[in-house]
Amino acid sequence: MSKSRRDTRDSRCPNCRINTHWCFCDVLKPFANQTKVIIPMHYTERWLTSNTAYFATKVLKKCEIFERGNVHEPFGPQLFDFDTFDYIYLFPTQDSLPLQDYKAEEGKQTCLVVPDGSWSKAKKFHKREEVLGRMPKYHLIDVGHSIYELRKSPGENFLCTYEAIAHALEVLEESEVKDHMIEAFKVIVERIKKSRKGDFRL
């Protein structure tokens, strides 16, 4: 007899959001990244099982999600501190620059802002939110193919939010943080694939 949705929900790990048999909390170890990471997303995206931004907050010490569309916690300039942080918006456009060209502003801490959601939603974020429009845009180059096999990628150099953060931090900091994130992500993807197939082998 198949389990009901309630039974399935009750048997999920509250931290990694997967059935406890495939729990991967053992790889969700926070890395002490130097660059703060902010992920703007629509509040309806936060609890989707396909959302990878959530896992970025679990493997990075300086990473948080800012929700748009949440009437109880409005998104706006009050969430940002331009006197302390030098914000950079990671999103490819015709006028965005390669992230390798970024030069940190003296006296300020770098803060990487990575929008989460579909391509169209991320584009709307930058247009509709004046505070995001103030931020210079940068893009990644030569990142190859995504390893996020749970969702079809549009092609080369298209990454999920988690992977984009990992590659960006490699540019801004060093390869150690990217290696930490990607190794954890491989386990995450594999466990989720097994859970969807009902494969109990670990």
Residue matched to tokens 């949440």: 70
pLDDT score for 10? 62
- Backbone phi, then psi, for 23, in 5-degree steps? -50, 135
Q: Rounded CA gap, 17 and 10, in Å? A: 10
Q: Rounded CA gap, 20 and 25, in Å? A: 10
- Paired with 140 in beta bridges are none
pLDDT digits (tens, 9 = 90+) for 104-140: 999 999 999 999 987 777 777 878 899 999 999 999 9
CB 75 within 8 A of CB 40: yes
Identify the sign of the CA torsion 117, 120, 126, 130.
Answer: negative
Confidence (pTM):
0.89
Q: What is the mean pLDDT of residues 157-183?
A: 94
What fold characterizes domain 34-193?
Answer: Alpha/beta knot (3.40.1280)
